[in-house]
Structure 1
Amino acid sequence: MTTTRYLLAGDVGGTKTHLGLFDAATLAMLETRTFASADFSDLPAMLRSFFGGRALRCQAACIGAAGPVLDGVCRITNLSWSIRADELRQFLDCPAFVINDLEANGNGIALLSPSDFHQLQAGTPRLGNAALISAGTGLGECILFWDGTRHIAVPSEGGHASFSPSDPTGLDLLAYLWQTYDHVSWERLVSGTFGFAHLYHFFRDTGRAAGSAALEALAATDGYGAAISKFADAGLPIAVAVMERFVALYGAEAGNLALKALATEGLFIGGGIAPKILTWMTKGGFLNAFVAKGRFRSFLEQVPVAVILNERTALLGAARYAKYHAHLS
């Protein structure tokens, strides 16, 4: 009789955390649950809830976490948690790893099927590097470095690099945000936590579009992302303006990343936002901004661009990382 060997995988974000158990031999997902991150004081408390008193012995574990990982420690950028690999090993009594959530996402892409993607641009793929950009609670970026045999996910904190405007409205937007921030990063504009709210207030406060009491009331309960999406789909001018600008900014920074990575094999769009606003992502504004890089327009027009639809990609990648680095057969 064969006994199942388990891998524990986690995808910890500022808003939600996905936890899953996998078959260590096949990487088949056996169980998954989603938690509100802020409902727990730390990861061990969440793990206790996940296991529910079960005495499951894991062969290895890997947690992808939304923040920089230094010496096996991650301080979550948009959550008051710290996750330590050494504490996780002690808690689970097995090999355990903590990696950046985009590194986990990058590792998961190889396990996806064609139905897990929505192609925005077919391009002409060439064997080589790829890249991943992911707007959710924050903005994550990752280079998928081709070593001649496989892609190695190289995490970064590129979402916190300085925002650079590309048109007069962008210049005004930067000046507007400088009233609040000494440093304006791309995450301040391309993320669920900040982006939609900042863009809405910019368009309203500068008189570019009339504000909406109904939209603001919904944003107070559901957040600006959900409110903007709903009212943009209904044709409200300020919501349409915000959505179009958000998508264009997303495309512009995706193009920047594709250039920095020399992503001949593709640019992947992860995170929870893109699948929810897929209609707007496909209208052309994203790709127009993506390729608008002067002399390198023709290069970027050849880069395949796809939205990842599978929200469990980071879990899959964390499980794959655990199996590989724990040397499990």
Structure 2
Amino acid sequence: MKQLLTLAFAIGSAFLLQAQNVGIGTTTPNSSAALEIKSTTKGLLIPSMTTSQRFAINNPPPGLMVYDTDKDEFYHYNGTGWTVIVNGSYWSRPITSRSRIANATDSVGIGTNSPTERLDVNGNIRSRDNISATNNIDAGGTLSGTTLVNSGNAVIGGTTLLNGDATTNGDLIMNSGGTVQFKTSSVNKTFVQLSGDNLRMGTNSGNSAGDFIIRMNGNDRVNVNAQGDLNVDGKITRTATGAANLVPYCFGRVELDGTVVNAGSGNWTVAKVGTGQYEITCTGILSTDVVIATSRDFRIVMGAYHPNAGKVKFYTYSVVSQSYDDEAFSFLIYK
């Protein structure tokens, strides 16, 4: 009779447990919990085992959790493998008043299992706001952004695509052979490049319409076209000769009848005003400018003076006839 009562109690208890939620340390377990444990002096201790014992569990169901004593970490089975449950030894809250977590010593890998830096991302990174760097930015691939602002050095080892401004308070460093390439509609137009010990800059191959231009104070001062022709809007000087312009302002060659043989600088005209007398008009020249003239005949003596601003009068005098004589000559005028 006693055995029957015990069996009936066990069966009744089983039905009761199936029908109700279970409470340990409480008589009123939460209705949404299958098991609620309450204690102010004890905790919950789940099964502990070594790594080999964990892998030896036969057909673990998804959600099974154990504590690995070799790893000192909690693991759960996700249906295909064992996954560590990240705990407080990895992350902490250095400022409890703010919603942030931090790790002061380890590295984080995204898309890689072997991070080599504090944050190692194998793939693209997208920021919908600013990215700030207080030290160097090392780019081995493509670095793109609307505006890049850096308070340290920017070291570029690959391609940098700028759709806006790049501002640095330090150095912009490019590795040997690097090129700053400028494009229009994805077509290479101009570039700046380090080539060995040389600095190369100019227009790209195929850009025959583009010129290399140096501007000063908002004005074009030096122009080089695709043929290599150099145009300077100003003086060419050297330290030894001071501010004197080494490039002639007007020059050319005149035939004995007053016709132009070689227009030279192209900014002058000539008029034959008498026997052995020729007047050159070149706007901008003054009486203080340097004038050089030479004849093709060594028996002709050349003379010149400034009758008016913008004009020079040349004389060709024959030492044979002792009179003015028509003769071809070349001239240079320096401002």
TM-score, scaled relative to structure 2: 0.17
Q: RCO greater where, 1 or 2, for CA within 8 Å and sep 6 or more?
A: 1
TM-score, scaled relative to structure 1: 0.17
- Greater fraction of residues in helix: 1
Q: Which has the larger radius of gyration?
A: 2
- Greater fraction of residues in strand: 2
